[in-house]
């Protein structure tokens, strides 16, 4: 089967050999063979079914803010959710939000409607889909804590179902949703005074500004925090702030961030990751595990 040809029969929103540096916050990485933007469920189902039948790998892309694509790129398909997947609606218990909506837009929406519960998420870049799959959050709260239902499509493109999360489905930067495509979620929010919500949002914003490098090319925290410790603290105490490979270096502000000075390759970042892991292991006996999703050909 000529996959490209078959896909073009379903959608015209398709690009070939598209550089993933344009779609990731790290602003680096090689090209993907086929890049599709899809705006409704039926089209998504047909595309997924076709790609699955063709036995080609595919990835759903949110904001690309937790995504590192290797320099040789992706031999497969990247699917980005747009159109219908960018809708927000008020529900009895809070908001129903499409997977393609940016998390910051939801925080603003909720604040403006006097709905409280998501203030902590201000400044976490990316989409609601990416956030729930990776259970994004801050020290005291994660998005999984406020999700009541999730509508998902299976990865073969054959069915859609509604999941009600149970205890243990969401864990630290992880969830049961990795095996699905998230379509939309209901976020549980409670009524509160707008000024008090806005104040809390501002507090979280300020805290982030003081502790994280923002408006730079990065993918956020590279490593998960090991139990009872912080990856950034271990990297800092190993003396690695400012350590550089090519155009990639460890942030001076937050040691768990690797920044791209504009010239970094994915190989620079991966080599820097290996150096950090080795030095932290040698010095503290702690094995760091990547939080970011790494894809593409070696
Ligand atoms: C400056 C900066 C600060 C950050 N701060 C934080 C923070 O405080 N806390 C935190 O937790 N993270 C943080 N991050 C990391 C990142 O923003 C989050 O992990 C975010 O939730 C990723 O969302 P995304 O839409 O960009 O996902 P992507 O990077 O696009 O994708 C991540 C993974 O989710 C999958 N995915 C995306 N959408 C779907 C979907 N609809 N269905 C199925 N799978 C999907 C992808 O296939 C991929 O495996 C930060 C990143 C940056 C750059």
Query: What is the per-residue pLDDT across 101-116, written as a single tens digit (0 to 9) for each?
Result: 999 999 999 999 999 9
Note the pLDDT of residue 82.
98
CATH code of 3-83, in short, is 3.30.43.10
Which pLDDT score, from 0 to 100, does residue 95 have? Answer: 97
pLDDT score, position 214: 87
Q: How many whole angstroms from 279 Cα to the centroid of ligand 1?
A: 27
- The domain segmentation of the chain, as residue ranges, is 3-83, 87-211, 231-295
CA dist., res. 267 & res. 216, Å (int): 19
Tell me the CA–centroid distance for residue 136 and ligand 1, in Å: 7
Q: What pLDDT does 13 receive?
A: 96
Query: How far does residue 171's CA lie from ligand 1's centre (Å)?
Result: 15
pTM > 0.85: yes
94 ligand 1 Cβ < 6 A: no
The CATH number corresponding to 87-211 among 3.40.980.10, 1.10.260.40, 3.30.40.10, 3.30.465.10 equals: 3.30.465.10
Q: What is the C-alpha separation between 272 and 175, in angstroms, rounded?
A: 27
Which pLDDT score is estimated for 221? 97
What does the pLDDT look like over 159-185, one tens digit per residue? 999 999 999 999 999 999 999 999 999
What are the C-alpha distances in Å from 217 to residues 25, 263, 264, 269? Answer: 6, 11, 10, 12
The CATH-assigned architecture of domain 231-295 is Alpha-Beta Complex (3.90)
Residues of the chain with pLDDT under 70: none
Q: Tokens for 64?
A: 């690309």
Torsion sign over Cα 257, 261, 266, 271: negative
Looking from the CA of 68 toward its CB, the CA atoms found within 13 Å total: 27
CA 47 to each of CA 8, 225, 266, 283: distance values in angstroms, whole numbers, following the listed order: 10, 37, 29, 48
Q: Are 117 and 198 in contact (CB under 8 A)?
A: no
Q: Report the nearest-CA residue for atom 51 of ligand 1.
A: 220
Q: How far apart are CA 125 and CA 128, in angstroms?
A: 9
């Amino acid at each position: 089967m000529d996959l490209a040809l078959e896909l073009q029969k379903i959608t015209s929103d398709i690009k070939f050999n598209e550089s993933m540096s344009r779609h990731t916050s790290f602003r680096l990485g090689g090209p993907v063979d086929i890049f599709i933007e899809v705006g409704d469920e039926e089209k998504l189902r047909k595309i997924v079914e076709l790609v699955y039948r063709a036995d080609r790998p595919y990835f759903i892309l949110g904001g690309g803010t937790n995504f590192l694509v290797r320099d040789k790129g992706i031999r497969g398909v990247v699917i980005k959710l747009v159109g219908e997947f960018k809708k927000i609606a008020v529900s009895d218990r809070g908001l129903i939000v499409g997977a393609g909506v940016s998390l910051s837009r939801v925080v603003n929406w909720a604040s403006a409607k006097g709905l409280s519960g998501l203030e902590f998420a201000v400044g976490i870049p990316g989409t609601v889909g990416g956030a729930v799959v990776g259970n994004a959050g801050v020290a005291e709260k994660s998005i999984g804590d406020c999700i009541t239902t999730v509508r998902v499509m299976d990865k073969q493109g054959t069915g859609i179902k509604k999941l009600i999360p149970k205890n243990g489905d969401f864990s630290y930067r992880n969830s049961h949703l990795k095996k699905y495509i998230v379509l939309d979620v209901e976020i549980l929010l409670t009524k509160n005074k707008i000024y008090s919500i806005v104040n809390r949002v501002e507090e979280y914003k300020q805290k982030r500004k003081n502790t994280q490098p923002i408006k730079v090319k990065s993918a956020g925290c590279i490593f998960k925090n090991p139990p009872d410790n912080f990856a950034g603290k271990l990297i800092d105490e190993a003396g690695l702030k400012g350590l550089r490979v090519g155009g990639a270096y460890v942030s001076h502000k937050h040691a768990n961030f690797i920044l791209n000075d504009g010239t970094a390759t994915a190989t620079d970042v991966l080599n820097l990751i290996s150096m950090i892991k080795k030095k932290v292991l040698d010095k503290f006996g702690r094995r760091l595990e990547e939080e970011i999703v790494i894809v593409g050909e070696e």
